[in-house]
């Protein structure tokens, strides 16, 4: 782990959070890869920069829809504001943010049927315990984007819940506001992704309050938090090729891993392919080169 002369307040599966004076946090995206809630031993080169660069891109795209907690992605500005010189290894992977009181829900929006939602739909005909249209196939587009929240578990797996269950947890007014904003951000991002030849099948947002204002926090529409499919590769009833971490999950499934620690050893070719897929997701969707982002290797 990168050594930073700040108080480490939380180390997650992918991100590390450091306390910064002034009620701020430094969020550093690592190259760690988590699958089935287990962190692999092998880092994925460029992954942290992709997650951070893509978040910066989407926050700019939706800034008129919702405010966010980010203060800066610029390493020089972050150094000035934190009054220290951060290691160059954090450049492009770090963002300085306002400390927010986080909402205890994962705000998932689904535009297409896939993943756990498809598994539940096959079994019960519902999506997050909510009524769904009949006759849908894997990778079918839903009639309207669905707000499908889940709990935020400190340990173990998040639990998919209905909107009514979410209202019982945090209150109807907040859930209704979260649903409206989440769907608006999803629709904006999905339209932009489609213009680049991609489908944003689903994505997960996190929100918090800063000075009483609801703001978008953490990563936004990244390959870790979303399903991203090439528009030309979608065949209803089949799993589309993906520019997210689903192919890596598929590889883990294929080798028969029991999804329990310790993780299997990941071969170098799988590491390189996964890294290339993350970089391609950023560059193809945004039309930008990762080499132009902070911290790119010369």
Q: Is pLDDT of 298 > 50?
A: no
| Burial zone of 78 (CB within 10 Å; 0-12 exposed, 13-18 middle, 19+ buried) | buried
Q: How confident is the model at residue 4 (pLDDT cuts 50, 70, 90)?
A: confident
Going through the chain in order, the beta strands assigned E by DSSP cover 7-11, 15-20, 24-29, 34-35, 38-39, 70-72, 94-98, 101-102, 105-112, 126-127, 130-131, 141-147, 150-151, 198-210, 213-217, 226-230
Radius of gyration of the chain (CA): 19
For residues 204 and 150, give the distance between their C-alpha atoms in angstroms, rounded to a whole number. 10
What pLDDT is attached to residue 156? 59
Q: What is the DSSP letter of 22?
A: T
Secondary structure class of 72 (helix, strand, coil): strand
Quick check: 129 and 162 in contact, CB under 8 A? yes
Per-residue pLDDT averaged across 53-65, rounded?
A: 98
Q: Strand pairing partners for 127?
A: 130
Per-residue pLDDT averaged across 182-187, rounded?
A: 98
Higher-pLDDT residue of 156 and 214 is 214
Per-residue pLDDT averaged across 14-28, rounded?
A: 96
For residues 73 and 70, give the distance between their C-alpha atoms in angstroms, rounded to a whole number. 8
Let me know the angle formed at the C-alpha of 222 by 9 and 76, rounded to the nearest 5 degrees: 55
In this structure, the number of other CB atoms found within 10 A of the CB of residue 162 comes to: 16
Domains and CATH numbers, the chain: 1-99 (3.30.200.20), 102-248 (3.30.470.20)
% pLDDT > 70, the chain = 97
What pLDDT is attached to residue 296? 83
pLDDT in tens, 133-153: 999 999 999 999 999 999 987
For residues 193 and 226, give the distance between their C-alpha atoms in angstroms, rounded to a whole number. 12
Nearest partner of 73 among 226, 227, 220, judged by Cα = 220
For residues 23 and 69, give the distance between their C-alpha atoms in angstroms, rounded to a whole number. 12
What pLDDT is attached to residue 154? 65
Query: Across all residues in the chain, what is the average pLDDT?
Result: 95
Q: Is pLDDT of 268 > 50?
A: yes
In this structure, the number of other CB atoms found within 10 A of the CB of residue 53 comes to: 28
pLDDT in tens, 220-265: 999 999 999 999 999 999 999 999 888 999 999 999 999 999 999 9
Distance of CA 75 to the CA centre of its chain: 22
Q: Is pLDDT of 185 > 60?
A: yes
Q: Is pLDDT of 272 > 60?
A: yes
Secondary structure class of 69 (helix, strand, coil): coil
Q: Is pLDDT of 120 > 50?
A: yes
For residues 134 and 148, give the distance between their C-alpha atoms in angstroms, rounded to a whole number. 18
For residues 43 and 275, give the distance between their C-alpha atoms in angstroms, rounded to a whole number. 9
Nearest partner of 182 among 209, 202, 210, 152, judged by Cα = 202
């Amino acid at each position: 782990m990168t050594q930073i002369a700040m108080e480490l307040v939380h180390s997650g599966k992918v991100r590390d959070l450091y306390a910064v004076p002034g009620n701020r946090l430094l969020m550093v995206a690592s190259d760690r890869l988590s699958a089935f809630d287990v962190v692999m031993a092998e880092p994925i080169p460029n992954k942290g920069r992709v997650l951070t660069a893509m978040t910066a891109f989407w926050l700019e795209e939706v800034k008129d829809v919702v405010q966010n907690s980010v203060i800066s992605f610029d390493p020089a500005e972050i150094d000035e504001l934190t009054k220290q010189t951060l290691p160059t290894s954090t450049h492009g992977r770090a963002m300085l943010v306002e400390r927010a009181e986080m909402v205890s829900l994962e705000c998932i929006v689904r535009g297409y049927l896939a993943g756990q939602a498809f598994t539940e739909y096959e079994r019960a005909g519902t999506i997050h315990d909510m009524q769904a249209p009949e006759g849908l196939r894997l990778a079918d587009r839903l009639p309207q984007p669905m707000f499908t929240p889940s709990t935020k578990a400190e340990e173990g797996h998040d639990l998919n819940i209905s909107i009514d269950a979410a209202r019982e947890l945090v209150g109807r007014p907040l859930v209704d506001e979260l649903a409206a904003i989440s769907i608006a951000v999803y629709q904006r991002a999905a339209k932009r992704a489609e213009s680049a030849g991609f489908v944003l099948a689903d994505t997960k947002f996190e929100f918090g309050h800063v000075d009483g204002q609801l703001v978008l926090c953490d990563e936004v529409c990244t390959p870790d938090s979303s399903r991203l499919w090439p528009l030309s590769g979608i065949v209803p009833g089949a799993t589309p090729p993906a520019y997210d971490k689903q192919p890596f999950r598929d590889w883990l499934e294929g080798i028969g891993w029991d999804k329990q620690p310790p993780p299997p050893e990941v071969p170098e070719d799988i590491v390189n392919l996964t890294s290339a897929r993350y970089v391609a997701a950023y560059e193809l969707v945004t039309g930008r080169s990762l080499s132009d982002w902070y911290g790119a290797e010369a």
